[in-house]
Structure 1
Amino acid sequence: MDFAQYWQYTDIITKSLFFILFALSIASWVTGIVRIYQSYQLSNNVVTDLTNTVNSQMQAHSVTDASQRKLVTEQVLMQNIARYRFSSEKGLPILGTTAAIAPFIGLFGTVWGIFHALHSIGESGQAGLGQVAGPVGEALIMTGLGLAVAIPAVVFYNIAVRMNRKTMHLANDTAYGLLAKSIDSTPTA
């Protein structure tokens, strides 16, 4: 069976489900690749960015009291780590949602295809293997498409989450070091 024959046999609901799965697939691949690239960039730059930001804030405020330095450093660190966390989570809802719903969309397409095939068999009155195997096989294509969309989305999601955990670990480690350093030293002018 070729794709043109399959496409000709399907109805508007199956075609709609196909286009939905196709759109989800494109969205998850683009989002996944962009998210992994951005997570990699963020992971490489988080230590330097935090250090530079804290140093520039300390010079801008030019406080000499240790408690004031600690307070300014804590506020700058908390604000920037929250920004990093927000930035690192962009796109993850698209990947998670795609991974969760694509198999169900494929399953719905399968159920709809089998219903459509059984309805055709009921109208023709013939239930031989030739009449059942083709339409049921075509209906199962939707399950395969749903899985083909969901699996890459899950992989991208898991890779991005793992990279984000590493980034947040680096950010927190750097923050603790910078906080301790701000208490022990006086700012440079």
Structure 2
Amino acid sequence: MNFAHYWQYTDAVSKTLFFILFALSVLSWVVGILRILKSRKLANDIASDLQSTITSKQNDLSKLEFSQRKMVAEQTLLQKIAQYRFESEKGLPVLGTTAAIAPFIGLFGTVWGIFHALHSIAESGQAGLAQVAGPVGEALIMTALGLAVAIPAVVFFNIATRLNKRAMHVATDTAHLILAKTAS
């Protein structure tokens, strides 16, 4: 059974589910690859960026008393880290949502294909292979498509989350070192 044969016998619901899964797949691959690239760049650049942020404020900080200098540096670093965190989480909801709903869309397609198989049996009055093979094949294809969309989304989500955790760890360590230097 080739794709053209399969496509010829599917109804509007199955075609709609196919297009939804296809769109989710393309979206999750694009978002996943971009998110991983941006998270990697963030993890590599975060320490130097935090350092340059404080260095640019060094003239203003040197005029302040110790407690004020520490507070201004701390607030500047916390604000910058919050911006990094927000930036690092962009796209993750798309990946998480895709990973969560794609199997259910595929499952709905499976149920729809089984419904077609039962309908075919009811129309013909026979439960032979000819009546159920096409609709059951359609059901299995929809299950496979749902999983094929969800699995890469989960992988991208996990990789991006891990890279983001690493970046935030580097940011926190760097902020502590900068605060220690600023305090002295």
Establish whether residue 9 from structure 1 lines up as the match of residue 9 from structure 2: yes
5 Å-filtered alignment, 1:24-173, equals 24-173=24-173
CA offset at residue 139 of structure 1?
A: 1.3
Question: Over aligned residues, Cα RMSD in angstroms?
Answer: 1.0
Q: How many residues align?
A: 184
53-62 vs 120-129, greater mean Cα deviation:
53-62
CA offset at residue 62 of structure 1?
A: 4.1
Contact preservation (8 Å) 2:113, 2:136: yes
Q: Deviations over 1:51-75 (max 9, x none)?
A: 0001112324542311111011011
Contact preservation (8 Å) 2:124, 2:131: no
Q: Deviations over 1:105-126 (max 9, x none)?
A: 0000010111022112201212
Q: Give unmatched runs, 5+ long, in structure 1.
A: 185-189
Stretches (4+) displaced over 6 A: none
Distance 2:169 2:117 in 1: 54
Q: Deviations over 1:88-138 (max 9, x none)?
A: 000000000000000000000010111022112201212112222232122
Distance 1:75 1:152 in 2: 38
Distance 1:159 1:183 in 2: 36
Q: TM-score, normalised by structure 2?
A: 0.97
Contact preservation (8 Å) 1:99, 1:149: yes
In structure 1, give the amino acid aligned to 2:92. Answer: L
Q: Give unmatched runs, 5+ long, in structure 2.
A: none
In structure 1, give the amino acid aligned to 2:34. Answer: V
Distance 1:3 1:10 in 2: 11
Contact preservation (8 Å) 1:73, 1:179: yes
Distance 1:168 1:6 in 2: 48
Distance 1:118 1:9 in 2: 15
Q: TM-score, normalised by structure 1?
A: 0.94
Match of 1:23 in 2: 23
Q: What percentage of aligned pairs have identical amino acids? A: 69
